[in-house]
Amino acid sequence: MIYKTIQNYKEATKDFLENEKQFHLGVITTEQSNPITKNLSATIMKDTAQGVKTIFKADKYVEPVARKAFNTPEFAAFVDDIKRCMDEKRKVVFSSVGASGRMAVQMEGAWRCFWQGLVDKLPNHRYEFLQLGDVVTSFITGGDRAVVRSVENFEDYMTFGAKQVDEADMKPGDVLVALSECGLSASINGSAVRGYELGLKTYYLHCNPEKILRKHLDRARAVFECVDEYQKNLKKGIPTDKYIVKIPLVVGNMAVSGSTRMQTTTVELLAAGAALEVAANRWLQENLTEQELAVVGGEFLTLDQYADAFASLNKQLMSGKALKGLAKAVDFEVDTYNKKGLVTYATHEYLLDIMTDTTERQPTFTLPPFRKFNDTEHEVSWAYTKDPLYPNEVAWQQLMRRDIKGLEWTADDYRAMGANEDIINNPPKVSGSELLEYCIGNEDDPSRYSRDNSYLVLIDINGSATKEAIAWYKKEVVKFTGGKVIRFGQIPAEKIDKDEIRIPIELPRTCTDIMYHLLVKVAFNALSTGTMAKMGRVFGNWMVQVLPTNKKLIDRSSRIIWNLAKTVPGHEDMTYEQAVEEFFISYYNRKPEDEYRESYVVETLKRLGFDPNADIK
pLDDT at 197 over 60: yes
- Which letter does DSSP use for residue 380 in this model? P
The whole-number average pLDDT for the span 249-257 is 94
Question: Residue 205's beta-bridge partner residues?
Answer: 179, 247
Counting residues of the chain whose pLDDT is more than 70, the rounded percentage is: 98
Mean pLDDT of 589-604: 80
Separate counts of helices (H) and strands (E) for the chain: 25, 10
Specify the 3-state DSSP secondary structure of 115: helix
Distance of CA 121 to the CA centre of its chain: 32
Region of 175 (left: φ > 0; alpha: ψ -120 to 50; beta: rest) is: beta
- pLDDT tens digits, residue range 258-306? 888 999 999 999 999 999 999 999 999 999 999 999 999 999 999 999 9
DSSP characters over 219-250: HHHHHHHHHHHHHHHHHHT---S-EEEEEE--
Percent helix, strand, coil in the chain, to 5, is: 55, 10, 35
**pLDDT interval class at 183 (50, 70, 90):** confident
Is residue 594 very low, low, confident or very high in pLDDT (cuts 50, 70, 90)?
confident
Residues 232-242 have a mean pLDDT of 90
Q: pLDDT, tens digit, for every residue of 7-22? A: 789 999 999 999 988 8
More confident residue, 597 or 255: 255
- pLDDT of 614 reads 66
At 240 the pLDDT is: 86
60-296, what's its fold? Rossmann fold (3.40.50)
C-alpha dist (Å) from residue 564 to 530, 560, 608: 21, 6, 10
Angle between helices 320-338 and 48-57 (to 10 degrees): 110
Chain region(s) in the chain for CATH 3.40.50.10490: 60-296
Q: What phi, psi does 139 have (nearest 5°)? A: -140, 150
Confidence of residue 422 (pLDDT cuts 50, 70, 90): confident
pLDDT over 70 (residue 188)? yes
CATH of 37-52+314-530, one of 3.30.70, 3.40.50, 3.90.1720, 2.30.280: 3.40.50
Q: Per-residue pLDDT averaged across 38-50, rounded?
A: 94
- pTM assigned to the model: 0.93
Across 129-167, b (16+ Cβ under 10 Å) vs e yields beebbebbbbbbbbbbbbbbbbbbbbbbbbbbbbbbbee
pLDDT of residue 1 exceeding 60: no
pLDDT tens-digit readout, 78-107? 999 999 999 999 999 999 999 999 999 999
User: What is the longest distance spanned by two Cα atoms in the chain?
Assistant: 76
- Provide the pLDDT for residue 615: 62
Confidence at residue 150, expressed as pLDDT on a 0 to 100 scale: 83
> Among 200, 288, 203, 185, which Cα is nearest to 242's?
200
Listed in sequence order, the residues at least 6 apart from 612 whose beta carbon sits closer than 8 Å to its beta carbon are: 536, 539, 544, 602, 605
